[in-house]
C-alpha cells in the first residue's frame, strides 16, 4: 500500500528486486575537457544512462552541484531529467539543503513542487527547523545527513563533548520527527560499525548509503547492518557512470555488477 514516501521507496525497490541508487554526478570535464556544448552533453548523457539502466535501477540521485554550475541552463537540464524518469524510478535531489524554516519551505517547494523530485537530502546543522518544512507532504521523502562517508566527517559528527556523538543526536532527532513515514538517514558505508547504534533511534527507516566504490565502504556489511531494523539503499555514482569513460555498455555492466551483489546479500540474508 502506498501510504507514505518510505513505502513508495520500498515498493519500487521490491518491484525491481534491487536496492541500488545511481548517483548522476555527471562531470563533462572527466569525459572530454574539449566538449563544445557541456549543457547538451549533460542532458544527452543523462538520458542515455537512464535508458541503459532504468529497468534495473529503482532510485536515481542527480547531484545539484553538477547542474547548477551551469546556472539556469543546468537547472533546466536537471528538471528535464526528473521529467524523463517520469515516475519509473524514485528521484532523490542530492541538494543537502539546510536553513531556517522560512527559507526551507521554499527549498521544499522548488525541489518537490517545481522540479518534481520525490525526495531530497537535507543538512540538519540548524536543527529541526531545517527538516520540518520538507515533511509536510508525506509522499515526499527527506534523507538527513547523519554519519557521512567522507574522511573529515568525524571533525564534527564524532564530537563527544557531552559523551553523546553528534551523529547519534541527529539520529534521535530524526527518529522523533518521523511521524509521516517520510524520513530517512544518510549513513556512509565506511561507517558501518555505527549502524547498530543508529538503529536504536531509527526503527524501520531507510538509509541512503554512499561510500561504496571509490571510498572503499563494505557493501555487504552495510546492507546487513541497515536491514536489521530498516532497509538500506546503496548509493553508487562515479564507479558506475564513469565506467569505460562514458561507454554505455560499460555503465550497464557496472550497474548490473552492483545489482547482482546487492541481490545476493538482500535476497540471501535480509
Pick from 118, 116, 178, 168: which is nearest to 147 by CA? 168
Our answer to whether residue 73 is catalytic in this structure is no
The conformation of residue 200, written as its DSSP 8-state character, comes to T
User: Do 229 and 204 meet the contact criterion of CB atoms below 8 Å apart?
Assistant: yes
Helix axes 38-53, 248-269, angle to 10 degrees: 40
Q: Is 80 exposed, middle or buried (0-12, 13-18, 19+ CB in 10 A)?
A: middle
Cell numbers found for residue 79:
528538471
Of 96, 105, 172, 261, catalytic:
96
- Buried b or exposed e, range 221-258, using 16+ CB within 10 angstroms: ebbbbbbebbbbbbbbbebbbbbeebeeebbbebbeeb
User: Do 243 and 236 meet the contact criterion of CB atoms below 8 Å apart?
Assistant: no
Report the 10 Å Cβ neighbour count for 89.
23
Residues annotated as catalytic (active site), given as ranges: 96
Amino acid at each position: 500500500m502506498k501510504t507514505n514516501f518510505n513505502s513508495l521507496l520500498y515498493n519500487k525497490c521490491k518491484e525491481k528486486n534491487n536496492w541500488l541508487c545511481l548517483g548522476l554526478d555527471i562531470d563533462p570535464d572527466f569525459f572530454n575537457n574539449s566538449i563544445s556544448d557541456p549543457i547538451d552533453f549533460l542532458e544527452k548523457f543523462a538520458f542515455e544512462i537512464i535508458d541503459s539502466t532504468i529497468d534495473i535501477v529503482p532510485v536515481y540521485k542527480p547531484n545539484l552541484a553538477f547542474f547548477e554550475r551551469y546556472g539556469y541552463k543546468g537547472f533546466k537540464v536537471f528538471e528535464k531529467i526528473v521529467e524523463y524518469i517520469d515516475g519509473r524510478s524514485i528521484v532523490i535531489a542530492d541538494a543537502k539543503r539546510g536553513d531556517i524554516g522560512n527559507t526551507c519551505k521554499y527549498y521544499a517547494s522548488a525541489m518537490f513542487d517545481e522540479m518534481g523530485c520525490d525526495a531530497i537530502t537535507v543538512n540538519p546543522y540548524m536543527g529541526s527547523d531545517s527538516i520540518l518544512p520538507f515533511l509536510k507532504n508525506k509522499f515526499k521523502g527527506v534523507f538527513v545527513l547523519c554519519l557521512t562517508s567522507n574522511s573529515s566527517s568525524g571533525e564534527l559528527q564524532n564530537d563527544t563533548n557531552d559523551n553523546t556523538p553528534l551523529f547519534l543526536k541527529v539520529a534521535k532527532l530524526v527518529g522523533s520527527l518521523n511521524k509521516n513515514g517520510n524520513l530517512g538517514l544518510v549513513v556512509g558505508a565506511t561507517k558501518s560499525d555505527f549502524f547498530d547504534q543508529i538503529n536504536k533511534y531509527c526503527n524501520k527507516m531507510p538509509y541512503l548509503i554512499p561510500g561504496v566504490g571509490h571510498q572503499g565502504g563494505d557493501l555487504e556489511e552495510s546492507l546487513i547492518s541497515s536491514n536489521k531494523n530498516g532497509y538500506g539503499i546503496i548509493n553508487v555514482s562515479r564507479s558506475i557512470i564513469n565506467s569505460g569513460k562514458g561507454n554505455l555498455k560499460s555503465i550497464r555492466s557496472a550497474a548490473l555488477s552492483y545489482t547482482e551483489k546487492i541481490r545476493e546479500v538482500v535476497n540471501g540474508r535480509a
